[in-house]
A and B are shown apart, each in its own frame.
Chain A
Amino acid sequence: MVDRISEIWGTRTPFARGALWPVRVDQKLADGVQEKDVDRWVQSACVLCSNGCACDIAVKDGAMVGIRGRAGDLVNHGRMGPKGLFASWQGVSHPDRLTSPMIRENGQLVPCSWNTAMERIVSKSKALLKERGPLSHGFYTSGQLFIEEYYALAMIGKAGIGTPHMDGNTRLCTATAAAAMKESFGSDGQPSSYTDIDNCDAMFLYGHNMAETQTVLWSRVLDRLAGPDRPKLVCVDPRETEVARLADVHLALRPGTNLALMHGLVRELLHNGWIDEAYIGQHTMGIEELRSTVEPWTAEAVAQTCGVDAEDVREAARIFGTSEAVLSTVLQGFYQSSQATASSCQVNNMHLLRGLLGRPGCGILQMNGQPTAQNNRECGADGDLPGFRNWENPEHVQELAALWNISPETIPHWAPPTHAMQIFRYAEQGSVEFLWISATNPAVSMPDLPRIRKILAKEEVFVVVQDLYLTETAQAADVVLPAAGWGEKTGTFTNVNRTVHLSDKAVEPPGEARTDLDIFLDYSRRMGFSTLDGAPLLDWQGPEDGFEAWKNCSRGRPCDYSGISYERLRGGSGIPWPCNDEHPDGVVRFYEDGIFPTDPDYCETYGHDLLTGATVGPQAYRAMAPNGRALFKTASYSPPHEEPDEEYPLRYTTGRTAYQFHTRTKTARSRQLHKAAPKAWVELSVQDATELAVREGDLVRVTSRRGLIEVPARVGDIRPGTVFAPFHYGYWDAGGTPDGHPTAANELTITEWDPVSKQPVFKNAAVQVVKIADGQGPAPAPTTTASRPAEASRFGSGQDSADATRLADAGHPVSGHDSTDAGVSAGAAVPPTTGGPDAEAEEFLEPSSPPQFPDAIQPDPGHPRAAHATGDSGSGHSTGSGEGEDSLQETLKSALKGVERVVRNAIKDVTGGHDNDGGSAGKDRP
């Protein structure tokens, strides 16, 4: 048993480059439940981050009582992180759940029947459509619904109502990933695979605190770092994250200056000739503009603007330029900061310059934050057209109209889809009067909360909220609909590296809660949305009908699901799309042949100017004739719009902790996670704390031009001049309102967004900090992650050396660990974050040999390979493939085999083979 609160990443299973990542099955059962008590295990995948760890849910007496990672899945090889272990079923099976619809009567939300609630919605909706038309309706969804639900909603919005005002909170988390891939490659679609971690010899993490956001993916990296041939690691992050601590080069740049740094790195590659001229000539366009844009950015210029060491810039570029196989990953540090798309495109450009794409170990992971963000993008509930179709391409619009049997004029395609911030602006101005919010909590997660609260409270805006709990947003709704959660419904979703998983229904939802899909289908029925023939627009009977409809819609597009079925997803590993006749088992990585989806008839966008967001348009794009070449897109650097000044002298940035997800609706309802990170805090550097006479744990007020928060200070290892706050902490568990001491990081953030991706800028604002009271003890921030205290106030004996061992295990030179003079800021001594017996979870080390593509994937029953398949094809809720009820005994039996394999790997590592995925990726698209 391992305390998975203190050991976030669990036990190391080191492996060498090119070897397979060993299996480690993680399991947590409810108090008092033993494995033998479990009635059945139901296949699913975790929905608490974008990693998509495959798991089985333990069910006993009709209730969820445990979780276990699936050994045979290509994503996680059996592992689960703390959120999956402690908040998957625990965050759903909770007495706080909404069990009845509610409507607002005389200012109060009161329970009512489904019929009453739906009739209220439908009568409002019909009246508005009649009086004001489709542009009065807005839909704001999530990164946490299933494919079938997004696609149903996309059809309702685009084919039923005909409104362009649809978006998801994916706009806040992953819009830039999509935008950067569209601009560089012509279409969304993750180029790389997690197996590139296994095969690279250098990794670059750009604004990606993977150690906390995707803990299981980070375990994979840690296992490489602890292996015999540690890859080089470069970290770009203003905080001393776990990634930074293990990095060979840590570029702790000023928030808001990413693009300047990227220009400097690109310039180094160009000036040192670390480029592949032949690849550039054959497979790209636009090198000249790239050259001239980056030319002013010498390492010294970067040093000055970004506040980093010029030598570190050169060293990072050297690692990129001279390593054999480089994997880059990008997340919120880039996506939620200034010039997000331009900065993220520079990451793509670095790979294009060296042709480092489409080979094992060479790739880019433009990450997602949420578990199903990918599907919102694919299905078009975020405003894009379904199947990565191009709204500016009349043929694509026509295709959809034919598929849905509606008039193409109904589909809004006269202007770009309305992004989330603009939908809220229209609501603020009174032209969007019907706003349906599902599975997200903008009252905590959007920027400038004082403004968002005012909009949600407006009399004139009719707000429908569909959720598991009475969130801060639901409290402001006119109608609240209780939704079924994970484990209470069936559906599919797709992780960051395009792996599609099925999540089967394990138990009944509480009370009268209904699935999001049923709610959408009911709305469509009551509204009478129909096809040209008068048939119902959505005649699906359940999720599988929805999946089949989606397969049809995706056919022939980059995200082709046509070869996947519920049946194929049961039993084996998840399947990476595209999966079709040409690629019956899916595709591991894209662009092996250097052919990109930029063909004007096929591409998802004609692109934008990255500085302004001006559209390029069909004519100019066709004239450019990219024809399968990738585009070097870039923009000149502009300083962030809100810079520190005399009144607000510090830079403010926001982010996440490993123990919470989003606005904590699930994770704070888990005992273990809540205890690990119970309340809000703010991080200050030792230097700033000293100047402000703030000691560890003191209550401080942080003020921006928008608002203020009052939270305890953690004196930590952040870059001086920068202040960090976690964004999870709203008010549902603190009286429901920000009265008293406001704590939500977004009270302070600015209303601004990237011109191309329209992703809000959460990571740059100017603030002032003052101390308002002495501390009552240390700040409630975890000590196991980036929020750890600066050394001076770090716990007593023991922990520091444990910490050092961990770093050393991951191949980090610990001796250079300096101790800062922090006498002044050392307040309360900080006890280490641990979970105790409550947080102990089981780990089964190497119980079976690691899954491998394509064998891990359940063969298509109609496909020739099926004849050779072994294992259970799965019926009903079977977890199949040797992972059934008694799978653990099975897998433990093969433990010996696992040990054998480790030895084999060690030998293999000496002999140096490193292409473990069989190179069977094939072409990127049909």
Chain B
Amino acid sequence: MNLSIYLGLLHKAEQTLAASFRTVAEGHGAEPDVHFLCQTLAKQCDDHEQALKPIVDRYGEDESGAEPERMHAEGISSTRSGPVGLLRDLHDLYLLASLVDVTWTLVKQAGQGLRDDELLEVVSSCDQQTAVQLKWLQTRMKQAAPQALIVAR
């Protein structure tokens, strides 16, 4: 069964997202909402990782899969500065969170096919939060974009 490949992907993607939220939090301390919320959201990703554990224990986790390592996104290792830099960093987070989001969707599909209630319960406790993370990133970027792209010095 290949679910293990996707569980591996998901696990890795949540880890990468958590670390990236933390990097952005640190790099943008002068934007307090970004700073504090990214910390909160990083913590959510940690929790998701924890919640996945018993599932991974059951199905295993294949990190080597035939080719999916292509799909492992690089995390954010350093932040940019200035208003456009903030926008770019949030944009990067958005891409990473989108990857997590769609991976949850696919894992959920498998869970439904397997009628694995435990797995489905984990999904339902996590994928909503990921959806909100995406929403927040979008909200914050929409707010920042006009100023950053039109008048920022």
Contacts and interface: CB of A to CB of B under 8 A. Distances in A.
Contact of B135 (A421, A425, A614): A614
A611 B132 contact: yes
B151 A135 contact: yes
B40 interface: yes
Contacts of B30: 425
A135 B147 contact: yes
B139 A615 contact: yes
Contacts of A136: 151
A416 B145 CA distance: 12
A59 to B, nearest CB: 48
Interface string B24-46: 00000011110011011100000
A629 to B, nearest CB: 21
Interface stretch (A301-309, A720-728, A749-757): A749-757
B132 A612 contact: yes
Nearest to B129: A611
A136 B147 CA distance: 9
Where chain A touches its partner, the secondary structure class is loop
Given A132-B151, A431-B153, A755-B33, A415 B146 contact: yes
A135 B152 CA distance: 9
B75 interface: no
A113 interface: no
Nearest to A132: B151
A431 B37 CA distance: 24
B53 interface: no
Nearest to A640: B36
A429 B87 CA distance: 14
Given A609-B132, A612-B136, A614-B136, A430 B153 contact: yes
Interface string A610-629: 01111111000000000000
Contacts of B33: 613, 752-753, 755
Most buried by A among B31, B82, B143, B152: B143
B83 interface: yes
B151 A431 contact: yes
A614 B139 contact: yes
Interface in A596-620: 609, 611-617
Contacts of B136: 609, 612-614
A609 B135 contact: yes
A641 interface: yes
B135 A431 contact: no
A426 interface: yes
A429 B139 contact: no
B1 interface: no
Interface in A94-134: 132-133
Given A612-B136, A614-B138, A135 B146 contact: yes
B36 A416 contact: no
Contacts of A753: 32-33
A442 to B, nearest CB: 17
B80 interface: no
Contacts of B142: 414-415
Given A431-B83, A431-B152, A614-B139, A425 B31 contact: yes
Most buried by A among B82, B145, B152: B152
B66 interface: no
Chain B interface bracket (under 10, 10 to 19, 20 to 34, 35 or more) = 20 to 34
Contacts of B145: 415
B150 interface: yes
Most buried by A among B40, B135, B151: B151
Contacts of A752: 32-33, 36
A638 interface: yes
Contacts of B83: 429, 431
A584 B40 CA distance: 50
B135 A638 contact: no
Given A415-B143, A612-B136, A429 B32 contact: no
Contacts of A418: 143
Interface string B55-96: 000000000000000000000000000110000000000000
Given A613-B136, A614-B135, A751 B147 contact: no
Interface string A638-666: 10010000000000000000000000000
A136 B135 CA distance: 27
A425 B142 CA distance: 16
A755 B37 contact: yes
Contacts of B150: 133, 135
Contacts of A426: 147
B45 to A, nearest CB: 14
A638 B139 contact: no
Given A415-B143, A415-B146, A431-B83, A611 B40 contact: yes
Interface in B96-133: 132-133
B132 A614 contact: yes
A163 to B, nearest CB: 10
B53 to A, nearest CB: 20
A747 B6 CA distance: 51
A132 B143 CA distance: 18
B93 to A, nearest CB: 13
Nearest to B31: A425
A415 B152 CA distance: 17
B103 to A, nearest CB: 20
Q: Which 3 A-B pairs give the minimum distances between C-beta atoms?
A: A614-B135, A614-B136, A612-B136
28 contacts: A135-B146, A136-B151, A414-B146, A415-B143, A416-B143, A421-B32, A422-B143, A425-B30, A429-B82, A429-B83, A429-B152, A430-B152, A430-B153, A431-B83, A431-B151, A609-B132, A609-B135, A611-B132, A612-B135, A612-B136, A612-B139, A613-B37, A614-B135, A615-B135, A616-B135, A617-B135, A752-B32, A753-B32
Interface of A: 132-133, 135-136, 164, 414-416, 418, 421-422, 425-426, 429-431, 609, 611-617, 638, 641, 750-753, 755
Given A418-B143, A430-B153, A612-B132, 15 more contacts: A135-B146, A135-B150, A415-B143, A415-B145, A416-B139, A421-B32, A425-B31, A429-B83, A430-B152, A611-B132, A612-B136, A613-B33, A616-B135, A641-B39, A752-B36
